[in-house]
Structure 1
């Protein structure tokens, strides 16, 4: 596995653990369809939550969450709707979140969770 894939996988693992500890129910991970992939699908007390995880080894090129573009947010919305259409047993309100993970060498990981990314929440 190349370093970039391993870095992304570690960030997703940390994000998943964080969500579980915050009482999210994990429903799916790395769900794929023709339009793309959702990193994590979870449920909290009120929402079906689709989570984009962005990971970097440092902030020299900015925080990982700075890589979320309006186009990516639209794709996330479309993917979330596609997931829900494939899983009609999970109805209810839908929310898009993002988790940025910094994994600097020799230092503790840093996570930042944005609830309702791309909204005015």
Structure 2
């Protein structure tokens, strides 16, 4: 049991975890204040929640080792957008922030195995709220 714990403790972070950490650093450099990472609820998980000026920003991070199959941002389809909208509304309700401006950004990261640093693309206001919550501001 102890040896398994040590092996897991020493394990390198996953590509997704490294991508989310890089995205958080990137956003901080832009002046965003990170208020939550990997925020989980019974509905799912929001990668990063930040504040940009007076706007709450829900950030979906997609990291790939290459864009041969498809660009990382293409994984944020309409189904994912509707799920993120539900998660955002839930977060805003839980924290009494329903009156705040909010938006959805997507950060697409391509990080080849041999590269020291990734290519980061930031899509501001990447999509409008989807699903039954389209009146969300």
Please report the TM-score for the alignment, with normalisation by the length of structure 1: 0.90
* 1:22–1:104 CA distance, 2 compared to 1 (3 A): same
Query: Aligned pair 1:54/2:62, yes or no?
Result: yes
Query: Aligned pair 1:64/2:72, yes or no?
Result: yes
Aligned residue in 2 for 1:110:
119
**RMSD of aligned C-alpha atoms?**
1.8
Query: What's the CA shift for 1:105?
Result: 2.1
Name the structure, 1 or 2, with higher relative contact order (CA <8 Å, separation 6+): 1
Contact kept, 8 Å, 1:36 with 1:79, in 2: the verdict is yes
Query: What's the CA shift for 1:118?
Result: 1.5
Query: What's the CA shift for 1:90?
Result: 7.5
Gaps in structure 2 of 5+ consecutive residues: 1-7, 129-137
Equivalent of residue 43 in structure 1, options 45, 48, 51: 51
Query: Aligned pair 1:81/2:82, yes or no?
Result: no
Contact kept, 8 Å, 1:7 with 1:56, in 2: the verdict is yes
Gaps in structure 1 of 5+ consecutive residues: none
Please report the TM-score for the alignment, with normalisation by the length of structure 2: 0.80
Using the alignment, how far apart are the partners of 1:16 and 1:55 within structure 2?
13
- State the secondary structure of the residue aligned to 2:126: coil
